Chains A and B, each alone.
Chain A
Amino acid sequence: MQNVSPLSASDTPGLQECLSDMTATIADHGIQKNFQLLFLDLNIPSHILKTSELHLDNELTAKIRRRLRLLLGEEDRLYQAKNGGYAVLHYPIFKTKERFFAERIVHAFSEPCELDGEIFYIDISIGIARYPFDAEDAQTLLDIAYESMKQIETEGKNLIGLPHIIHSGDTEIERTKIMKALPEAIERGDIRFVYQPQYSYARGRFVGAEMLARWEHDEYGVISPAVFIPLAEQSGMIGPLTVRALTEASAAFKYLEKYGHRDFSLSVNISPVFLTNGNFRETVSFLLERYDLKRYELHFEITEEFLLQNSKMLDETLQYLRDRHIRIELDDFGTGYTSLQHLVRLPIDIIKADRSFVAGIATDDKKLALLRAIVDLGRALNMEIVAEGIEYGTDDAVLRTFGDIVAQGYLYGKPVTLDELVEKISG
């Protein structure tokens, strides 16, 4: 092997190699092996580019590559384009959402960069082409990834572009507008949190609540979390939004305590994009210490998607949280692809049975049988069960025969403000 300095450009292959690697994968595996080609354009502030000398250029390049390489999966490969951009050949883990890898890159680049005594931020635009969905040959995939990047770059910084065949023009523009409004909305506290109560049959009282984000925009009206959470994930804003949720949780715990509700949990949804970010633990530990959260019953809700990563990092992060007495809830259980092995191996405390297994159990025997299986499985593994989507008394009556279950749904209360929550659980 050639002996190259880590700073030299020659240790990263070029686009020609990227094309041959793609061609080889396609020839060897065909459509049995899906992959994504990402084209990355980095926007380095001009005063850094202007002043930087050759050795600093090399150092900057090395830092950028290191940041990217930390995110690569085992088979993934990084390439450098002649114009200073990068391409990444990425083999997604089965069934994770399409932008997940790109979102992790955007999130990683939301951290500042340091070079020769200067601190600055690099803006990044990413275009994605998917094999075999967007094209079936290497050159077309590269062209599509590049074009998607160019297209999204005209709409703003730190955005991820997919080929436009799956989005109509209007929705894409709307999404971009909402995405641009996000940082300020988070920063100024325009995104608020509501609380959906959870009722324990065994204890005969409300025992906790799930926190949910709400955004009412002056111009766009009420924006659904189903819209803005994915956009926050795509633009590096999910970390700041989660920080906001956790500081709010801290204040809420204190407020609840004031009204005599000491033994009450709050569940905060944690996105896999944030959870897998390099600064996740530091951020959580800061909040536990400075915002007193370690005194309270804090739950993190994660989705099955996160478990699919099956990495050492996943195990370590969950263990890290458990060591700090944060309980882990597995959300939407039953809808995804959680392998039973994961359930046995990982420190999960609570499973939340998805509403699709709960709503209608009074009249649907098959559904009831499925729910019973989920409950039995959870109990066998020493996990608590939360059942979501309880809207009717008939379903509730059946569910009560299961014994110790925590119920969440409109029958026990829709998401409400903190004041309304206190009123409800005190009454």
Chain B
Amino acid sequence: MVSRRILIVDDVEFNLEFENQVIESFMEEKNIQIDVDVASSVEEALDKIEENDPYDAMIVDMNLPDGSGIDIAKAALRKSESTRIAALTIYPNKYENERVFFDLFLKKPIMPSAYKQNFAHLLRL
């Protein structure tokens, strides 16, 4: 079975829970295994990146209380350039200059169908 390790970062508890549900539903549909780590701040995300083997992919909220998703993307790419990174933002078209750090921009608030479509793309599935 295909398996992947990912990190999702969001400071809103509801969003983490919702993303988890969408990812579980995605796993059932595609019959794959995805291990999900979560973080709710830049600091926590940086710790997770530091402590663990490089993640296959990350979905990072752009607007966190202690900084921006860009800081997390930079740290992840320093650790491994092969980590695929999605930015989660209300304004996906606002970040033209930051495109180098991200593989895709995912629109918030999350809807299951769009999230799954983006997710498959992010994981190259």
A residues touching B (Cβ–Cβ < 8 Å)? 43, 45-47, 110-112, 114, 117-121, 123, 157, 183-184, 186-189, 237, 239-240, 243-244, 247, 279, 282-283, 286, 289-291
**Cα A248 to Cα B24 with chains together (Å):** 19
Surface stretch bound by A, among B42-50, B75-83, B108-116: B108-116
- Report B33 CB to chain A, min CB distance, Å: 18
Asked if residues A47 and B90 are in contact (CB atoms below 8 Å), the reply is no
**Cα A120 to Cα B114 with chains together (Å):** 11
Closest to B93 in A: A45
Surface stretch bound by A, among B1-9, B11-19, B51-59, B66-74: B11-19
**Cα A22 to Cα B56 with chains together (Å):** 55
B25 close to chain A: CB less than 8 A = yes
Asked if residues A183 and B117 are in contact (CB atoms below 8 Å), the reply is no
In this complex, how many residues of chain B approach chain A with their Cβ under 8 Å: the count is 27
B residues touching A (Cβ–Cβ < 8 Å)? 12, 14-15, 18, 21-22, 24-25, 90, 92-93, 96, 99, 104-114, 117-118, 121
**Cα A247 to Cα B90 with chains together (Å):** 20
Which B residues lie within 8 Å of A237 (CB)? Answer: 109
Q: Check A112/B118 contact, CB under 8 A, given A121-B107, A243-B111.
A: yes
Q: 18 more A-B contacts (CB under 8 A) besides A112-B118, A290-B21?
A: A45-B92, A111-B113, A111-B114, A119-B104, A120-B104, A121-B93, A183-B109, A184-B90, A186-B109, A187-B12, A188-B12, A189-B14, A237-B109, A240-B110, A240-B111, A244-B109, A279-B111, A279-B114
**Cα A321 to Cα B105 with chains together (Å):** 33
- Report A283 CB to chain B, min CB distance, Å: 6
Asked if residues B93 and A283 are in contact (CB atoms below 8 Å), the reply is no
**Cα A189 to Cα B13 with chains together (Å):** 10
Which B residues lie within 8 Å of A283 (CB)? Answer: 111-113
**Cα A279 to Cα B92 with chains together (Å):** 20
Partner of A189, one of B12, B24, B92, B106: B12
Asked if residues A45 and B96 are in contact (CB atoms below 8 Å), the reply is yes
Partner of A120, one of B22, B105, B111, B112: B105
Partner of A291, one of B21, B104, B114: B21
- Report B17 CB to chain A, min CB distance, Å: 8
**Cα A121 to Cα B25 with chains together (Å):** 23
- Report B106 CB to chain A, min CB distance, Å: 8
Which B residues lie within 8 Å of A111 (CB)? Answer: 111, 113-114
Which A residues lie within 8 Å of B92 (CB)? Answer: 45, 120-121
Asked if residues B109 and A119 are in contact (CB atoms below 8 Å), the reply is no
- Report B10 CB to chain A, min CB distance, Å: 10
Q: What are 8 A-B residue pairs whose CB atoms fall within 8 Å in the complex?
A: A110-B111, A114-B117, A114-B121, A119-B117, A183-B109, A247-B18, A283-B111, A286-B25
Which A residues lie within 8 Å of B110 (CB)? Answer: 240
Asked if residues B93 and A290 are in contact (CB atoms below 8 Å), the reply is no
- Listed residue (B12, B15, B108) with the most chain A CB atoms within 10 angstroms of its CB: B108
Q: Check A183/B12 contact, CB under 8 A, given A46-B96, A240-B111.
A: no
The list of the 5 closest CB pairs from A to B, nearest first, reads A240-B109, A290-B21, A279-B113, A286-B112, A187-B109
